[in-house]
């Protein structure tokens, strides 16, 4: 499962400010945004649901699933059996793109994160990535902090 965030309009914005001095490092901003998204994702696993906009708990595990997890000595946490989906994430930043991708796969090499995030007929949807609304808030905060526009007076 790959989630990509692309900075759209950065070149246009930079060209609009040619008459002004622009100190902008999109790579640094994307690294900072990636760290925020990673933190929000991990926080969702800790709280067993979306921890923001508005908070929403994941659907509880069925009694049979809890019984099976207890029998094999695993955590009773939702979406956590071995902890791969919670731990294995790749954060890759290029000049204009942030890729935040789950590296968790099953024994048969199936990337199961998307199934849990979107749900199926038999598996309830348990969103662990930040919502678009929350991501936009994080992006605004990061980009305002990282892009310093210095207006030159004449």
pLDDT mean by block of 10 residues, the chain; 154 residues: 54 56 67 89 89 83 89 84 88 85 86 88 90 83 67 42
Query: Can you name the residues that pair with 3 across neighbouring β-strands?
Result: 100
Q: What is the pLDDT of residue 38?
A: 92
Which conformational region is residue 31 in: left (phi greater than 0), alpha (psi within -120 to 50 degrees), or beta?
alpha
pTM listed for this prediction: 0.75
**What is the CA 88 to chain-centroid distance, rounded?**
12
Structure letter (DSSP) for residue 75: -
**What is the CA 100 to chain-centroid distance, rounded?**
6
| Token pair in block for residue 73 | 């000595």
- Contacts with 142 (C-beta within 8 Å, 6 or more apart), sequence order: 29, 32, 33, 36
Q: How far apart are CA 24 and CA 26, in angstroms?
A: 6
Domain of residue 38: give its range.
2-150
Structure letter (DSSP) for residue 153: P
Q: What is the pLDDT of residue 96?
A: 76
């Amino acid at each position: 499962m790959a989630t990509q965030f692309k900075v759209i309009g950065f070149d246009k914005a930079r060209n609009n400010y040619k008459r002004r001095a622009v100190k902008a490092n999109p790579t640094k901003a994307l690294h900072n945004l990636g760290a925020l998204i990673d933190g929000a994702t991990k926080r969702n696993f800790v709280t067993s649901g979306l921890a923001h906009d508005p908070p929403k708990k994941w659907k509880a595990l069925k009694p049979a699933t809890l019984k099976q997890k207890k029998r094999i000595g695993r955590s009773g946490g939702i979406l956590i059996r071995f902890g791969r989906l919670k731990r294995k994430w790749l954060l890759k930043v290029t000049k204009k793109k942030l890729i935040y991708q789950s590296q968790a796969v099953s024994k048969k090499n199936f990337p199961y994160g998307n199934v849990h995030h979107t749900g199926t007929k038999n598996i309830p949807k348990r969103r662990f990535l930040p919502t678009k609304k929350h991501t936009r808030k994080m992006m605004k905060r990061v980009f305002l902090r990282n892009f310093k526009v210095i207006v030159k007076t004449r």
